[in-house]
Each structure stands twice: as structure tokens, then as C-alpha cells.
Structure 1
Amino acid sequence: MTEEEKQIFSLDFNYLYGEPQSSGLFKHLCEDFNVEEHLGFELTGEGEHVCLWVQKVGENTQYLARALAKFAAIPAKNVSYAGLKDRQGDTKQWFSLHIPGKITPDFSTFESPGVKILKVVRHNKKIKTGALAGNFFSIVLRDISDKSALEKALLQVQGGVPNYYGAQRFGFDGYNVNAALAMFRGRKIKDRFKRGIYLSAARSYLFNRVVSARIKDNLYVKPMLGDCVQFVANRSFFPLTELDAQTEHRLHSREVCLTAPLWGAGELTSSDNAKEYESGILSPYREIQEGLAKNGLKQERRPLLLVPEKFSSTWLDENTVKLAFYLPSGCYATSILRELIKAAE
């Protein structure tokens, strides 16, 4: 990609509670960032797929998937996982290996630095990407510069934060969004994984832009006529055809929540004022919109705000705090952390 082809895609999205007043260190050690995957369903104990419950420290998910395929003497495409997990962390996640009609390999002899196979269970289905309910997080923040400011922020984030896609999705300086644009303009990308990364980055960028605008315009909890609201329990959504006290109550009680568009083919699912607002925010990105539609993505919605569940904080000393919380699948812990601390200098 030449400098002439690159466009500026600002990742300076608006804060809900203002820029954090305290600085701190995040992921100072791998052990400071713990993630435990929650599938939300039980494995059957039998079937063509061997599922591995794996703990990895400082290891890449894709690399480990290839290593497991090599160990089991199966094609790499026969290994799947519900989601990518951070390399710089201590994470537990499921891998599934399609091994029909064969004896289960002895994974107790599998060796890889920083990797432990904790459980081996057969299942009747492949664990597909995104097939998980959520993740439990345990995170240590160090060198906190302003304890009182952070304690205030810890209370605020429990009411919700912008449900942004994390900066890691976009690559350095928005590289992945630029790569998507180049692909839309005809550049061939043979690697299916890279194609997926670029498409996700472009789509996520449009979502973040709408959320950031609604934060700026103080419309993050205030509904507009035609807004798409989503049932928190089952994720189905519908447009608001009228604004009344019942709608306000359902939003306040978290029975339903406001959403922003995940762009794809077809018309926006919002209507009236909300549709006009969203179209206006995204009008500078027509080329991205068209590219996403042509690549087979469909119009979907995602909640505007992210409310962490089972949130707790414990001060380990005057400058170190440990956080614990649960987030639904597809949500980023960094969306919580960006409202709490700025990077220590």
C-alpha cells in the first residue's frame, strides 16, 4: 500500500465520561490479563470432534491451532476455535479438532512453551467462530497515578461504556481499514483470514463512528424516532415507531437497549430520524459501505453501550488494582479500560 493510497482513519473516538484523569499500566505482565472463555453450552462427551480446554500464556491462538493440527496429524482447516484470544495474556479457551473415526490422540504428550491442555472432551459439533456466550476477565492495573480519580471512574463504568471495537481490530494507524479499501478497489487478497480481518475492521470502523457521534451529541441513552432497539435477552431488534413512557422505562430497566449499525447489503434497519442521523454520520464512507455490501455482509445491529456484568475491583496496594467482570461475546475489555486509565508515560 503506497502512501498515496492511504487515507486517514482517526481512532480518536469520544469518551463517555471524559478522558481519564489517572494513568496506569495495562498488561505489564502476561499474568495481569486473564481471560476465561464461556461457551454457554455443555459438550456432549461423544462425537467426531475432539475439544481441548487449553490454557496459554504469551501465545498466539492461530499459531497454537496449527501446532495442535500438526500434533494430531490432521489438516490445519480441521482445527477451529470460538474466538481469538490476546497473545499477551493468560487465557483459557476451547479448540475443536475434527477427528472422525480415529482414536483420540494422547494430548498429555503435547508440548509447547506456555501451553497446558487442561481437559479433553469429545463433542458432536465443530466449535465455530463466535460460538461462545462470553468471557470472564481478571485484569491487574499497575502504577495508578490518581487513586481517587480511578475510584470515581470505577463506579461510572458499571453503568456502561461505549461498546467500541478495540483499537487492535484496526491495526496500527488504521492499516486494516486502508487494506479493506484497497481490496474494494481491486487488490487481490488470497488469504481468507486476512480478507476477514480487513472486512471486519472496515465494518467495525463505521460502527465506532456512529457510536462516537452519539456520545458527542448526547444521544447514547436518549432514543430517536426510528431507532433500532434490541432485546438484551435474545438480541432480536425492532425500530421505534413512537417514543413514549413505556419505551423510556424499557430502556432504563435494560430490557431493551439502543443499537448502531453493522453495515452490509440492503437498507438500514433504522427509520425516520434515526435513519437520517446514521446516514449522515456515515455519508463520508460510501466506498466502504459499498465494498462491505458487495462482499456479502448483511445489515445487522450491535448495542451502543456495553454494561459489564459481575463487576468488582480490589486494591492490592495503593497503586495496584485488580478488576473482574464478564462481557458478552464480541465485546472488548479495552472498551472498559479506555474509560478508566490513560497509558502511563
Structure 2
Amino acid sequence: MNELQLLGPRAHGEIVARAVLKATAEDFQVDEVLDIPLSGQGEHLWLWVEKRGLNTEEAARRLARAAGVSQRNISYAGLKDRQALTRQWFSLHLPGKADPDLSSAEGHSLSILKTTRHSRKLQRGAHSANGFTLRLTQFEGDKNALEQRLQQLVAQGVPNYYGLQRFGHQGGNVVDARQFAARHELPEQRNVRSRLLSAARSYLFNQLLAERVAAGNWNQARVGDLLAFTDSRSFFMAGDAECSDPRLAILDLHPTGPLWGAGESPAAGEAGQMEQSVALREPDLANWLAEAGMAHERRILRLPIGGLTWHYPEPDILQLQFVLPAGCFATVVVRELVELLPTGPTENPCEF
């Protein structure tokens, strides 16, 4: 499966430059934003960890071995890619135990920057956002046109596609999900089951968003749409008044698309019809997600980019800094700017 099949059309026109992303881990830096006040006491040890060339699950295994505990006792908020320099939180459940010596987990690829205690473990999805610093190397293109495009992204946001990382190399996760769905089966291994269900859900969402981008209404509220605020999981129906809400113009309120699961979509009108048409094109996947017990949820169609800044530290290097809500992909921002030159297969799943 190619990129256009997995994501969809760009919203802001053809790309105006080319570059390489992730030539080195330092070119893709991520800082988890966690708005949880930590008490300093409790049976959970929280670790602020910097890692490079190491994905989240590998880091968790190293920390578990160093602490002498099962990996089930290690928690983290989100998955981070291997080919990146990332800083994120982990928590270790250590009831009645002193802080362990974790030095054996550290090395070039992992450093523990801070430790503190807290009364609760770190929950998946607990982080509110991720901050990104990206260096696009071997840059070549029209810098004036790129400047205009960057200003456009600040004002309008980008389609909130799930990135290619979610789907595996050449969409392999979607191919596997379709095979299981056709047999009405689920993978026995929990991590494989989670990965394939997530890929199927993300693929269907991207299909709906691609239709809205092609129709030119991905960033507009239509009567019957379900609207949500950037950082909220709740949604409400759009009528005539809601379609004129000024918070739409300032990228605070957005139309949403379905994360397929059990039950009918509450969307109505043209939006509801578009969602039904996507499900009808992929009935095996849509039914498989419902049979697996997934609940119907919503995801915003438009991704606002927080604090976007840019400069050229070298003539052929473009550096970007910005913040995205948790679960959103920096690569879909870059996709609206430049054509990315390949650097090898991408691992998955992750939040980038």
C-alpha cells in the first residue's frame, strides 16, 4: 500500500521543497508534556528518561531488568519511536520497596534525568501533548514559498491524519488486519491484537478524512457534524448556530471523524452519509472492530499546531519547533511542507 492509500491528499497544495527527516536520532526530538503534579511520595517511582535509538518498549524492558521487577510493573503514557531522541515518563510500581539502583539500565541510549515518587502509576494516554524539535536536512526548495506555507499552517492547521508509522512497512498492519477480519478472528498475542485493531481503526479514520480533504470541508463545520474542542474527548452535534461558532476560526473547536467500534455513528446529514460510505467500502474491518468490543469514539479532523517556529541553522537545514496534542503525528505536519526523502523502513506503532 502506498502513502496516498494510507493517508490521503494534502490539504495545502503541492509540496515546495524536499528534505530528509531522521538522518540521525537528534534530528527528531520529542518531549512529553505531562500536566500531573507529582506528590513526591507513594509506592510508584516515576522516572524522566531520555533515550536515543531505543523505542519505548525496549526502554521499559531495560528498566524492569535493572529494577528486578516484572515488565507488568512498568507503565508509560505513550509509545515513542526508536529513531529519535525522546524524553518521556515511566513509572515503576514498588510497594514497600526502596528506590532500586537503575544504573545498569543507563548508557549511551538511555539516561534517567529525574526521579520522584507518586501515589499512582502513570496511565496510558495521560500526557497532554508532545513538544517536537525537528531538523530537516539536505533541504532544497523555494524558501519564500515555504515561508508562505508555514504561515498557512499556523493559521489553518493540517489534516489530522494518522501517520504512516501506525500502519507498518508498506501498510502491512492493515493487510494483516484485513486477513483477520475476513476470518472473524483476533490475534492471540495481546500486543499484536492491539496493534492490528489500532491500525484498522486509524486506516478507516484516514479514509474518511481523505474524503473530507478532497471535498474541501475537512476544516469546516457542517450541520450534522460532531464537534469537539482540541483537548476534549466529548463532542456535540452541530446545528446552524454551532457552524458559526467563532471558536472554529481560532482553531479551538473542530469537526470530528469516527474511530469505528460498536454502535452507529451519531453524525447526521452529509457528514453521517460520508461516514457510512466509508464503512460500506470496508465492511469487514468496520464489523471486526465492533465485534472486538471497540467503542465508537471521535477524533478531531483538523490538527492545530501549537507554537510553530522555524529557522535555518544551516542553508540546507530547516529546523521546526511545535507542540501537538497527544496521539497526533509530527510527520503529517511535515508532509504538508516538504517531500520526505526515504531513509529506510519505519517502525510502528508510535506517536510521531
TM-score (norm 1): 0.93
Partner of 1:340: 337
Alignment of 1:324 onto 2:347: no
- Counterpart in the other structure of 1:209: 207
Residue type matched to 1:239 in 2? M
Counterparts of 1:291 and 1:188, CA distance in 2: 9
My pick for the range that moved more, 170-179 or 91-100, is 170-179
Deviations 1:161-197 (A, max 9, x none): 0100010100122111122222232555222111111
Aligned to 1:30: 25
In structure 2, which of residues 312, 330, 348 is the aligned counterpart of residue 315 of structure 1?
312
User: What is the aligned counterpart of 1:105 among 97, 100, 105?
Assistant: 100
In the other structure, the counterpart of 2:348 is none
- Residue 197 of structure 2 corresponds to 199
Residue 149 (structure 1) aligned with residue 145 (structure 2): yes
Match of 1:84 among 79, 82, 86: 79
Structure 2 residue 177 is the aligned partner of structure 1 residue 180:
yes
- Which of 121, 126, 129 is matched with 1:131 structurally? 126
> In the alignment, which residue of structure 1 is the partner of 2:347?
none
Match of 1:218 in 2: 216
For residues 245 and 11 of structure 1, what CA distance do their matches in structure 2 show? 31
> Is it true that 1:116 corresponds to 2:111 in the alignment?
yes
Q: Is 208-217 or 138-147 further displaced after alignment?
A: 138-147
**Is 1:280 aligned to residue 277 of structure 2?**
yes
1:58 partnered with 2:53 = yes
User: Are the equivalent residues in 2 in contact too, given 1:310–1:325 (CA < 8 A)?
Assistant: yes
Query: Which amino acid in structure 1 is aligned with residue 228 of structure 2?
Result: Q
> Do the aligned residues in 2 keep the contact of 1:9 with 1:177 (CA within 8 Å)?
no
**1:260 is the counterpart of 2:260:** no
Q: 1:321 deviation in Å?
A: 1.4
CA change 1:167–1:343 in 2 (3 A) is same
Name the SS for the 1:143 alignment partner.
strand
Is it true that 1:95 corresponds to 2:93 in the alignment? no
Partner-residue secondary structure (3-state), 1:298: coil
Cα deviation for residue 23 of structure 1 reads 0.5
Counterpart of 2:48, as a letter, is: W
Cα offset, 1:29, TM superposition: 1.3
Give per-residue Cα distances to partners, 1:145-172, cap 9 Å, x unaligned.
Answer: 1123322222222120010001010012
How much has 1:238 moved relative to structure 2? 0.7
CA distance in 1, matches of 2:8, 2:211: 8
2:147 partner SS: helix
Contact 1:137–1:324, Cα closer than 8 Å, also in 2: yes
Alpha-carbon separation, structure 2, partners of 1:245 and 1:229:
9
Amino acid at match of 1:279: Q
1:3 is matched with: none
CA deviations 1:286-334 (Å, max 9, x no partner) are: 1111100111111111110111101100111222111100111100000
The 2-side partners of 1:215 and 1:34 are apart by 29
The answer for the alignment partner of 1:250 in structure 2 is 247
User: What is the CA–CA distance in structure 2 between the aligned matches of 1:119 and 1:104, rounded to whole Å?
Assistant: 13
Contact 1:53 1:93 (C-alpha < 8 Å) held by counterparts: yes
Q: Tell me which amino acid in the other structure corresponds to 1:191.
A: Q
Of 39-48 and 259-268, more deviation after overlay is shown by: 39-48
Kindly provide the amino acid, as one letter, of the partner of residue 36 in structure 1: D
Aligned residues: 339
Aligned equivalent of 2:232: 234
Partner secondary structure for residue 192 of structure 2: helix
Q: How far off is 1:246 after superposition?
A: 6.4
Q: Is the 8 A contact 2:221 2:243 kept in 1?
A: no
Q: Cα deviation per residue 1:250-278 (whole Å; 9 max; x = unaligned)?
A: 32233421111111101102123321121
- For 1:162, the equivalent position in structure 2 comes to 159
Alpha carbons of structure 1 residues 214 and 335: separation in structure 2 relative to 1, 3 Å: same
SS in 1 for 2:282: helix
Query: Where do 5+ consecutive residues of structure 2 fail to align?
Result: 343-352
Does residue 13 of structure 1 match 2:11? no
SS in 1 for 2:309: strand
- For 1:322 and 1:41, the matched residues in 2 are separated by 29
Percent identity over the alignment? Answer: 40
Instruction: Please give the alpha-carbon distance, in whole angstroms, between the structure 2 residues aligned to 1:16 and 1:106.
Output: 50
Secondary structure at 1:144's aligned position in 2?
Answer: strand
Separation (CA, whole Å) in 2 of partners of 1:103 and 1:245: 54
Corresponding residue for residue 299 of structure 2: 302
Task: Write the distance in 2 (CA, Å) between the matches of 1:60 and 1:336.
Answer: 22
> Do the aligned residues in 2 keep the contact of 1:134 with 1:327 (CA within 8 Å)?
yes
**What's the TM-score, normalizing by structure 2?**
0.91
